Chain A
Amino acid sequence: MSTPEPAVDNLTHVPPDLASSMLPPPVTTTPPPESLLRKRLRKFRRLKRGYFSFVFVVTAYLISFFLPLIANNIALLVRYNGSYYVPIVHYRSASEFGQAAFGDPDYRALKQQFAAAGQGNWVLMPLIPYGPNEALLDLPGTPPNPPSAQHPFGTDDRGRDVLVRLAYGLNISLTFALLVALVGNIAGIAVGASLGYFGGRIDIFGQRGIEIWSSLPFLYVVIIIGSVIVPVYTPGRYQLLQPSLWLLVVILAAFDWMGITYYIRGEFYREKAKDYVGAAIATGVSEPGIMFRHILPNALTPVVSFAPFEIVANISALVALDFLGFGLPAPTPSWGELIGQGMENLTKWWLVFYPLGVLFLTLLLVVFIGEAVREAFDPKEFSRLR
Chain B
Amino acid sequence: MSLPAAQGGPEGSPLLTIRGLRTYFYTESGVAKAVDGVDLDIAQGEVLGLVGESGSGKSVTALSILRLIPDPPGRIVAGEILYKGRDLLQLSWDDIREIRGNEISMVFQEPMTSLNPVFTIGMQVMEVIQAHQRVSKREAHARAVEILTEVGIPDPEQRMKQYPHHFSGGQRQRVMIAIALVLNPSLLIADEPTTALDVTIQAQILDLMLEMKERRAGASILLITHNLAVVAETCDRVAVMYGGKIQEVASIDALFDAPFHPYTHGLLGSIPSVDGKKAHRLTVIPGSVPDIYHLPVGCKFVTRCPYAFEPCPDIEPPLIEDAPGHWVRCHLYPHGGTPAVPPPAK
Contact residues of A with B, CB < 8 Å? 1-14, 19, 22-25, 27-28, 30-31, 33-37, 199-200, 274-276, 278-286, 289, 294, 297-298
Chain A residues near B199 (CB-CB < 8 A): 11-12, 14
Please tell me if the beta carbons of A24 and B154 are within 8 angstroms of each other in the complex.
yes
B95 to chain A, nearest CB (A): 11
**Are B116 and A276 neighbours in the complex by a CB distance under 8 Å?**
yes
Contacting residue for A5 out of B97, B118, B233, B257, CB 8 A: B257
Q: For residue B255, which residue of chain A has the nearest CB?
A: A4
Inside 8 A of B343's CB, which chain A residues have their CB? 1
Q: At the interface, yes or no: B132 with Cβ under 8 Å from chain A?
A: yes
Interface string of B193-235 (1 = CB under 8 A from A): 0100001101110110000000000000000000111111100
A3→B277 CA distance, assembly (Å)? 12
Contact among B98, B119, B171, B200 with A284 in the assembled complex (CB-CB below 8 Å): B98
Of the A-B pairs whose beta carbons lie under 8 Å apart in the complex, a sample of 24, sorted by A's number, is A8-B229, A9-B273, A9-B275, A10-B272, A11-B199, A11-B227, A12-B199, A14-B203, A23-B152, A23-B207, A30-B155, A30-B166, A31-B166, A35-B163, A36-B117, A274-B113, A276-B117, A279-B108, A280-B127, A283-B101, A283-B179, A284-B132, A285-B97, A286-B131
> In chain B, what residue has the closest Cβ to A6?
B275
| CA gap between A28 and B101 in the complex, in Å | 30
Q: Using an 8 Å CB-CB cutoff, how does the interface string of B104-122 with A read, 1 for contact, 0 for none?
A: 0110101001111111100
Checking A7, A19, A30, A282 against B203 with a beta-carbon cut-off of 8 angstroms, the contacting residue is A19
Q: In the complex, how many angstroms separate the beta carbon of A320 from the nearest chain B beta carbon?
A: 38
User: With the chains together, A294 CA to B164 CA distance in Å?
Assistant: 14
The answer for the CA separation of A7 and B233 in the assembled complex, in Å, is: 12
CB distance from A271 to the nearest CB of B (A): 10
Q: Is the CB of A35 within 8 A of B152?
A: no
Q: Quote the shortest CB–CB distance from A36 to chain B (angstroms).
A: 7
Whether B72 lies near A7 (C-beta < 8 A) is: no
- On chain A, the residues within 8 Å of B101 by CB distance are 282-284
Which of chain B's residues has its CB closest to A25's CB?
Answer: B152
Contact indicator per residue, chain B 89-108, by CB within 8 Å of chain A (1) or not (0): 00000000111111001101
Interchain nearest-CB distance for B131 vs A (Å): 5
Chain B positions within 8 Å of A297 at CB level: 116, 118-119
Q: Name the residue on A nearest B163 (C-beta).
A: A35
Q: Which residues of B are found within 8 Å of A283, using beta-carbon distances? A: 100-101, 105, 127-128, 131, 179-180
A30 touches B118 (CB 8 A): no
The docked-state distance in angstroms from the alpha carbon of A6 to that of B273 is 7
Complex contacts, B166 vs chain A, CB 8 Å: 30-31, 33
**Which of A10, A199, A274, A276 has the most B CB atoms < 10 Å from its CB?**
A276
Contacts A25-B154, A33-B120, A284-B97 given; indicate if A1 touches B200 (C-beta within 8 A). no
Determine whether the beta carbon of B268 is less than 8 Å from that of A7: yes
Report A-chain residues with C-beta under 8 Å of the C-beta of B170: 25
Can you add 4 more A-B contacts, CB < 8 Å, to A19-B204, A31-B162, A282-B105?
A1-B346, A2-B269, A4-B269, A22-B200
Using A5-B256, A12-B229, A286-B131 as known contacts, say yes or no to A278 and B68 having CB atoms under 8 A apart.
Answer: yes
- Contact assessment for B114 and A276 in the assembled complex, using a CB-CB cutoff below 8 Å: yes
A284 near B232 (CB under 8 angstroms)?
no
B272 close to A22 (CB less than 8 A): no
A2 and B272 alpha carbons, distance in the complex (Å): 11
A2 touching B346 by the CB < 8 A rule?
Answer: yes
Assuming the contacts A4-B256, A23-B152, asked whether A10 and B268 have C-beta atoms less than 8 A apart, the reply is no
The reply to whether the CB of B1 lies closer than 8 angstroms to some CB of chain A is no
